Structure 1
Amino acid sequence: MRTSTCILPVWRWGEASAIWRAADELGFHAAYTYDHLSWRSFRDSTWFGAVPTLAAAAAVTSRVRLGTLITSPNYREPVLFAKDVMTLDDLSGGRITVGLGAGTTGFDATVLGQEPWSARERADRLRDFTMLLDRLLTETAVTQTEGAYLAHEARNIPGPVQSPRVPFAIAATGPRGYRLAAQYGQAWVTTGDGESAAESRAMVREQISRLERVCEEAGRDPSSVERVLLTGFTGDRPLAGVEQFLETAGAYREAGITEIVLHWPIPDTQFAAEQDVFERIITEGAPQLL
């Protein structure tokens, strides 16, 4: 099992640059950030943009993978975003992963002045967004005349460093989302969502079982899709100490998770944790999972 982190864009770069460097030096597999314009309890607090943050992170790191968890169609458009992704992949030397999801009815859903889409509309948008983004990152020139997103002779030259394209990590737990992950995803993402640790772990086992069935129906080897857990939304307490981390990670590894993502500590928030304990988890605990 790989261990990664998620660094929310809540620090000015003078402070944030040291955090991204530390993520690189500590040995995380990947360091992600949220692709939102604002988020829940941070709405009236400092919050920077994902794409420029990742561009800056690429300049101060050399090994760790970088990416979004997650990007949604709520305010993104695939033609412009594909150009940003291609550029980020070049800046990082081929270390970018793009997390994609349908989004919710939160702040991003109305920030451009539109009415929030229904669950069905969000799923439709994610499908069309993902399909067009896949083409934009694999073809030299793209014209798309149907669906929610259109393109006319869109160019992405020279294309991503990674071949055949930047990996997609699809966050989805509904039937259509599983099919999208099976068709386009190099990884699948869940947050668990159970109220208790036991409930979440059971839920993740069932989710992975569904994903595997959909992959088999699509003629794809289920083991070719990485399974990513973004922690922080269940009754688990992986940041309480090395032993607690190993117990939590071990349970989810047994359920089928191949990558666990820990939020970088933010004091006085739901992601609060002792920084020295957090670093010990990575230096002492994470290597035991490899």
Structure 2
Amino acid sequence: MSLRLSTVILPHRRWHEGGKILWERAEELGFNAGYTYDHLSWRSFRNRSWFGALPTLTAASTVTQRMRLGTLVTTPNFRHPVSLAKELISLDDVSQGRFTLGVGSGGTGFDATALGQEPWSPRERADRYAEFVLLLDLLLRQDTATGTSYDGSFYSASEVRNIPGCVQRPRLPFAVAAAGPRGIELAARYGQAWVTTGDMKLYENGTPEQSIQALRKQIETLSASCKNLGRNPDGIERILLTGFTPDRSIPLQSLDAFVDFAGRHAQLGFTEIVIHWPIPDSYFAADERVFERIATESLAQLDCDLRSVVP
């Protein structure tokens, strides 16, 4: 597997006032994929413009031709598998099979209580996540006239018909986000890709070296989980969503800094690195000129020996 470079474009701009241009430009720059967050709002954007992920990605699919599109990530916080599956099948159809579902357990912020529910315990959140992914897998694989029925602890479905099913077969790919053993096992079982942001315990006071060690352990856990399930670990993509490791501000400071960062993580076995599109006056502020140089020049500058060891 060769290293790929992708980007996250947050849905904070009106489509006809700059939003559309960002997605078109992302494809022009050669990104492998364009993702967006599937939140109702996010951190410092709580009181700023913020649009829905799935409509945004549907619009993006009509102004791009090559680039893959996806969520990083969709969660159970305010989604139900039955209604979500129908929207995903539609998005996969409009994009002509270019959609990837990034799926995660969800955080404990605004999204977690926006529907009026009490905050879930860590155990309940993990249990819901596992059932959420299981049912989505069933719904997206089965497109028969008999429909899909399921009666779980948290979610149910009764003769749900998703005809004609996904363009991508047997269903659109899942990129399953996880950092701990239970979530990583879920990625090994259902994912065509695994997503990580690193070890969040190191976010404030960790070092880049500690982050590398933590990521190495996560990859070892993924490999062990795949083998336990009889799956070849090399058959699952490994995606690093940047911006949340101890050295989060360094990679976008210069082309050389990013090449060094990407090379070290490619050596670990990552196959895709995702960087955030710069947003002035925000957590993701960065020099757009540097960002575009990274998009167009970084992969070519990575040492061939480093790229050759990527699974």
Query: Which category describes the TM-score, using the shorter chain as reference length?
Result: over 0.9
Counterpart in the other structure of 1:200: 211
Deviation at 1:287, TM superposition (A): 3.3
Percent identity at matched positions?
A: 57
Counterpart in the other structure of 1:24: 27
Larger displacement relative to structure 2 (249-258 or 186-195) = 186-195
1:220 aligns with 2:231: yes
Counterpart in the other structure of 1:240: 253
Deviation at 1:250, TM superposition (A): 0.4
Aligned length: 290
What is the SS of the residue equivalent to 1:47?
coil
Cα distance between partner residues in 2 of 1:88 and 1:229: 24
Counterpart in the other structure of 2:164: 158
* Among 7, 10, 31, the residue aligned to 1:8: 10
Deviation at 1:286, TM superposition (A): 2.5
Deviation at 1:151, TM superposition (A): 0.6
Q: TM-score, normalised by structure 2?
A: 0.91
Give, as a single letter, the amino acid of the residue that structure 1 aligns with 2:163: I
* Among 72, 89, 95, the residue aligned to 2:92: 89
Per-residue Cα deviation, 1:104-154 (whole angstroms, up to 9, x for no partner)? 211100000111101111111111111110011110210112231111111
Deviation at 1:68, TM superposition (A): 0.3
Give, as a single letter, the amino acid of the residue that structure 1 aligns with 2:27: D
Cα distance between partner residues in 2 of 1:146 and 1:233: 34
Q: Which runs of 5+ in 2 are unaligned?
A: none
Counterpart in the other structure of 2:120: 117
Deviation at 1:235, TM superposition (A): 2.8
1:263 aligns with 2:266: no
Deviation at 1:88, TM superposition (A): 0.4
Counterpart in the other structure of 1:63: 66
Cα distance between partner residues in 2 of 1:48 and 1:118: 28
Q: Which runs of 5+ in 1 are unaligned?
A: none
Deviation at 1:178, TM superposition (A): 1.4
Counterpart in the other structure of 2:36: 33
What is the SS of the residue equivalent to 1:99?
strand
What is the SS of the residue equivalent to 2:51?
coil
**Could you tell me whether the CA contact under 8 Å between 2:100 and 2:174 is conserved in 1?**
yes
Q: TM-score, normalised by structure 1?
A: 0.98
Deviation at 1:214, TM superposition (A): 1.0
* Among 146, 150, 174, the residue aligned to 1:144: 150
Cα RMSD (Å): 1.1
